[in-house]
Homo-oligomer: A and B are copies of this chain.
Amino acid sequence: MDVYPMSLMWSVKIVGLGVVALSLSLELLGWVFGRCRRRRTLNKVLFFPSKVACVEHLLSQNSACSCFCPLPHGVETSFSCLLRHILSASSSLDLCVFSFSNMDLSRAVLLLHSKGVTVRVLSDKHYSAITGSQIGALRKAGVCVRCDAGSVHMHHKFAVVDGRQLITGSLNWTLTAVQSNMENIIITEEAELVQPFIKEFNQIWALNDPARFYKS
């Protein structure tokens, strides 16, 4: 007669063990899938020419200020998306761009600089001197600027935001590129893509350190 209660006791133990094993498995699965989900990093593509719309609300220090310009308001465009990503910088912006004459992009860089974001700008030595280039204005405002003197053209057009977000493509930072050309921009946080660009930036930055030229 003792056998049945003992067997019943064991059955209860097995069911209990099963429940514990199931809950542990679910926990483990949740952890593994969580890791997989965390690996889904930002990957975005923007195409240009961009629709034209007012971006004053993004660039104005006073966000409550209304703009009465005749451009469409409250419209999300490729350009406003690009601006948002640049303006999302909270600690650093490393910018490496062949041609930089776009006033709105220049205002975005100056705004970040005024907020205390560490901004470094690399540009092409020839294109930084052409009419309309914003490189002089940035330098005058105290932004750290270096111009590459070691290649025929420093033809990159990329930015690294906060050392983790890469913005790169065919688009020079000019009004024609934004409003009239067919262009592309990739915005990514894939470390395999971002890290080589950070290394490249630091190499070109070091290569064009004015101190090197004074020494030699």
Q: Which residues does A use to contact B, with CB under 8 Å?
A: 2-3, 6-7, 10, 13-14, 17, 21, 25, 28-29, 32-33, 35-36, 39, 43-45, 47, 49, 98, 148, 151-158, 168-171, 176-177, 180-184, 186, 188, 190, 192-193, 196-197, 200, 204
Residues of B within 8 A of A188 (CB): 190, 193
Given the contacts A170-B170, A193-B43, A158 and B176 also touching, CB distance less than 8 Å = no
Once the chains are docked, how many angstroms separate the CA of A17 from the CA of B176? 70
A156 proximity list for chain B (CB < 8 A): 170, 182-184
Q: Are A182 and B155 in contact (CB under 8 A)?
A: yes
Residues on B with beta carbons closer than 8 Å to the beta carbon of A152 = 176, 180-181
A207 to chain B, nearest CB (A): 10
CB contacts (< 8 Å) of A176 on chain B: these are: 152-153
User: Which residues does chain B contribute within 8 Å of A169, judged by CB atoms?
Assistant: 168-170
Interface centre among A157, A181, A200, A204 (most CB of B within 10 A): A181
Complex contact A168–B151 (CB within 8 A)? no
Partner of A197, one of B29, B44, B45, B200: B45
Chain B min CB distance to A21 (Å):
6
What residues of B have a CB within 8 angstroms of the CB of A171 in the complex?
155
The answer to whether B43 and A192 touch across the interface, beta carbons within 8 angstroms, is: yes
Chain B residues with Cβ under 8 A from A204's Cβ? 182
- B154 touching A181 by the CB < 8 A rule? yes
Taking the nearest CB of chain B, how far is it from the CB of A70, in angstroms? 23
Q: Are B14 and A182 in contact (CB under 8 A)?
A: no
Q: Which interface residue of A13, A43, A44, A186 has the most chain B CB atoms within 10 A?
A: A186
> With A3-B6, A32-B32, A39-B36 known to touch, is A193 a contact of B45 (CB < 8 Å)?
yes
Closest 4 CB pairs of A and B: A152-B180, A43-B192, A45-B196, A155-B181
CB distance from A160 to the nearest CB of B (A): 12
Complex Cα distance, B39 from A212, in Å, reads 44
B2, B157, B193: the one contacting A170 at CB < 8 Å is: B157
